[in-house]
A and B are shown apart, each in its own frame.
Chain A
């Protein structure tokens, strides 16, 4: 950035992102009022209409997920009761809803599911809740682990860096979906005694751990690259001279400079884990019926889609809407944080 070819006194020694971001936006009404980079990004974000709308959609999904038990209570149904089997007028002889469009009615807003006749609306509410819980936890863990490993490897360099680099190579060469589905039985075998039902919390924990174990590699590699560029900078030198410990330099000096790529990666990761987890459930790995989950619903719907396509559409469309909104949000967050990196 500071090449010897530009000895102009006006050029600051350190052209950081914040400086250029601030100077890139000269026309603010209050003139020379100083604003933090975060504040500037927030102002930029608020102006981005697509970003704001998609943020609202994403928040809506999270609110629904968190409030699922309340909504279900107000609505008066739960996702586990097999209403269709208790009331023979709801399902026909083949186990499909009698009413058209998957049995949608005033009582069952989104209809009832084929065969069992559970309420689709509450099932979907809890599915969103569970899917978002797993994806959020995984995204946070992956990002955290990726930060810790990537920053350490990048800063320490040498043997540590080499070793971590090779581990990342191996992890990225793994056929991941294949690995997940083939190790699922093994993991359950280790954790659960044979002939015993697997408790749901254990399924969730193992699912999150497996996805985390394989997920951190790409973000760690990215951050390692960023650190390699940063660690030669003067402020790191200065910190070293004052005797700061490596841990202090990594977390107090380097980390604050990396929040932009980290935030961008994290917003990309969350929808990715929503779809990964749903894909695994679709293949029969991880959560399974009767635990509500987007992927479980897709799998269930895929079995009966020829007779009851309506059921498929609810998990399918809600998931697509959520993922599109989150990806748009990710784009807007990137534009707001890093206005130079326009696509």
Chain B
């Protein structure tokens, strides 16, 4: 297990290195003055000079990239802008803040959004999938299957807006989505503000889990080891939960890890739809302002979320399903 984790972590580090390098070079390959772009719309000649100096524009691009990498491990000095300490993902000249502190500032919203939605869609998805598998071929199964197909065809920017209009604006059933309250300050307001996004995300994601759970359970229930367990005289319930369910859950954990990683890496469209201010909104703002250091940081964090969750789910997979060996 430890060898597996070490190997995968190294692999992940390499992937992140490649992604950051590609991003870096593509950003700076464009025929324009990166200092001008990094400096932003309100750019005095003094700031421009400072930015130029700080970016080390005179250096060749690989050297600049090296400095950027160096910053992550030992920190970096942006002379007059101040020091950016150890895990330094760069400096956003437009916001006059280190990139990482801005990202950390926005992260709670994204975490609240993703984890909350994940709890709802996993419970509903796996639950309906289990019912559908047990009641195979009956009306309930058919309803669950067709509902899941429709759900997976829906889009956040359609359902979200229609839901906001009717549920919040017209019928006042749910608070308008917002992220004014932090979880620690006012849990009730936090919950209310994120409830609608959770439900909409759940409608869309639940579908996939229902379908997966159903097909996985149907498959494992017909496996030999399940029949053996029944033949040994174990009760239906024990066999279902201890044997079949465990085997069926493994692939679902994989999908869940990927979904959660993607959500954490910035549910851009979701945040845009509901007007929330998480990582996704931060990246859109960075694109609008042409804030390259910011974008580089967000892309790296998002890619890291995806890669890390991939490793986590592979490890969990092996724990759940004893047939899987970590090579």
Closest CB-CB distance, B14 to chain A, in whole Å?
9
B39 interface residue (CB < 8 Å to A): no
Q: Are A182 and B155 within 8 A (Cβ)?
A: no
Q: Are B283 and A181 within 8 A (Cβ)?
A: yes
Instruction: Given A182-B295, A186-B30, A298-B157, decide whether A316 and B211 contact each other with a Cβ distance below 8 A.
Output: no
Partner of B155, one of A194, A279, A327: A279
CB neighbours of B286 from chain A (8 A): 182
Partner of A179, one of B16, B30, B215, B299: B299
New A-B contacts (8) at CB < 8 Å, excluding given A178-B298, A185-B290: A170-B18, A174-B303, A179-B23, A186-B26, A279-B269, A283-B272, A320-B153, A324-B150
Please name the residue on chain B nearest to A172 by beta carbon. Answer: B306
Please name the residue on chain B nearest to A175 by beta carbon. Answer: B302
B253 interface residue (CB < 8 Å to A): no
Please name the residue on chain B nearest to A306 by beta carbon. Answer: B169
Interface size class on chain A is 35 or more
- Chain-A contact segment, one of B51-59, B101-109, B184-192, B260-268: B260-268
- Chain-A contact segment, one of B158-166, B195-203, B223-231, B313-321: B158-166
How many angstroms from the CA of A278 to the CA of B153 in the assembled complex?
A: 13
B32 interface residue (CB < 8 Å to A): yes
A275 interface residue (CB < 8 Å to B): yes
Interface size class on chain B is 35 or more
A183-202 interface code vs B (CB 8 A; 1 in, 0 out) = 11110011000100000000
Q: Are A170 and B19 within 8 A (Cβ)?
A: yes
Q: Are B303 and A175 within 8 A (Cβ)?
A: yes
B249 interface residue (CB < 8 Å to A): no
How many angstroms from the CA of A186 to the CA of B274 in the assembled complex?
A: 27
Q: Are B157 and A282 within 8 A (Cβ)?
A: yes
Closest CB-CB distance, B141 to chain A, in whole Å?
11
A253-290 interface code vs B (CB 8 A; 1 in, 0 out) = 00000000000000000010001001100111100000
Closest CB-CB distance, B268 to chain A, in whole Å?
5
CB neighbours of B268 from chain A (8 A): 177-178, 181, 283
How many angstroms from the CA of A185 to the CA of B29 in the assembled complex?
A: 12
How many angstroms from the CA of A252 to the CA of B26 in the assembled complex?
A: 38
Hey, which bits of chain A sit against chain B, CB under 8 A?
169-170, 173-175, 177-179, 181-186, 189-190, 194, 271, 275, 278-279, 282-285, 298, 301-302, 305-306, 309, 312-313, 316, 319-320, 323-324, 327-328, 331, 343
Q: Are A175 and B157 within 8 A (Cβ)?
A: no
A-B contact pairs, 11 of them (CB 8 A): A173-B306, A189-B31, A278-B157, A284-B284, A305-B161, A312-B162, A316-B161, A316-B162, A319-B158, A320-B158, A343-B145
Instruction: Given A185-B290, A283-B284, decide whether A175 and B266 contact each other with a Cβ distance below 8 A.
Output: yes
How many angstroms from the CA of A174 to the CA of B283 in the assembled complex?
A: 15
Q: Are A174 and B19 within 8 A (Cβ)?
A: yes
CB neighbours of B310 from chain A (8 A): 173
How many angstroms from the CA of A153 to the CA of B93 in the assembled complex?
A: 44
How many angstroms from the CA of A328 to the CA of B286 in the assembled complex?
A: 38
Q: Are A343 and B211 within 8 A (Cβ)?
A: yes
CB neighbours of B307 from chain A (8 A): 173
CB neighbours of A178 from chain B (8 A): 265-266, 268, 280, 283, 298-299, 302
Closest CB-CB distance, A214 to chain B, in whole Å?
12
How many angstroms from the CA of A271 to the CA of B152 in the assembled complex?
A: 11
Beta-carbon contacts under 8 Å, B250-297 to A: 262, 265-266, 268-269, 272-273, 280, 283-284, 286-287, 290, 295
CB neighbours of A324 from chain B (8 A): 149-150, 153
Which of A174, A278, A285 has the most B CB atoms < 10 Å from its CB? A174
CB neighbours of B157 from chain A (8 A): 278-279, 282, 298, 302
How many angstroms from the CA of A310 to the CA of B305 in the assembled complex?
A: 38
Please name the residue on chain A nearest to B170 by beta carbon. Answer: A309
B72 interface residue (CB < 8 Å to A): no
Closest CB-CB distance, A215 to chain B, in whole Å?
16
Q: Are A319 and B155 within 8 A (Cβ)?
A: yes
Beta-carbon contacts under 8 Å, B108-155 to A: 145, 149-150, 152-155
Beta-carbon contacts under 8 Å, B1-51 to A: 11, 15-16, 18-19, 22-23, 26-27, 29-32
Q: Are B26 and A302 within 8 A (Cβ)?
A: no
Q: Are A316 and B266 within 8 A (Cβ)?
A: no
Closest CB-CB distance, B207 to chain A, in whole Å?
10
CB neighbours of A319 from chain B (8 A): 155, 158
Please name the residue on chain B nearest to A313 by beta carbon. Answer: B162
| Chain A to chain B: the 6 pairs with minimum beta-carbon distance, closest first | A175-B302, A316-B158, A324-B153, A323-B153, A189-B30, A182-B295
Closest CB-CB distance, A177 to chain B, in whole Å?
5
How many angstroms from the CA of A331 to the CA of B162 in the assembled complex?
A: 28
Q: Are B299 and A182 within 8 A (Cβ)?
A: yes
Which of B19, B157, B284 has the most A CB atoms < 10 Å from its CB? B157
Closest CB-CB distance, B311 to chain A, in whole Å?
11
Q: Are A301 and B155 within 8 A (Cβ)?
A: no
Which of A184, A185, A323, A331 has the most B CB atoms < 10 Å from its CB? A185
Q: Are B155 and A302 within 8 A (Cβ)?
A: no
Q: Are A175 and B162 within 8 A (Cβ)?
A: no
CB neighbours of A179 from chain B (8 A): 23, 299
CB neighbours of A271 from chain B (8 A): 153
Q: Are B266 and A328 within 8 A (Cβ)?
A: no
Q: Are A343 and B269 within 8 A (Cβ)?
A: no
Instruction: Given A177-B269, A283-B272, A327-B153, decide whether A169 and B15 contact each other with a Cβ distance below 8 A.
Output: yes
How many angstroms from the CA of A199 to the CA of B273 in the assembled complex?
A: 28
How many angstroms from the CA of A282 to the CA of B295 in the assembled complex?
A: 19
Which of B29, B161, B284 has the most A CB atoms < 10 Å from its CB? B161
CB neighbours of A306 from chain B (8 A): 165, 169
Q: Are A190 and B266 within 8 A (Cβ)?
A: no
CB neighbours of B27 from chain A (8 A): 186
CB neighbours of A323 from chain B (8 A): 153, 155
Closest CB-CB distance, B246 to chain A, in whole Å?
21
CB neighbours of B162 from chain A (8 A): 309, 312-313, 316
Closest CB-CB distance, A99 to chain B, in whole Å?
19
How many angstroms from the CA of A343 to the CA of B217 in the assembled complex?
A: 11
Q: Are B273 and A302 within 8 A (Cβ)?
A: yes
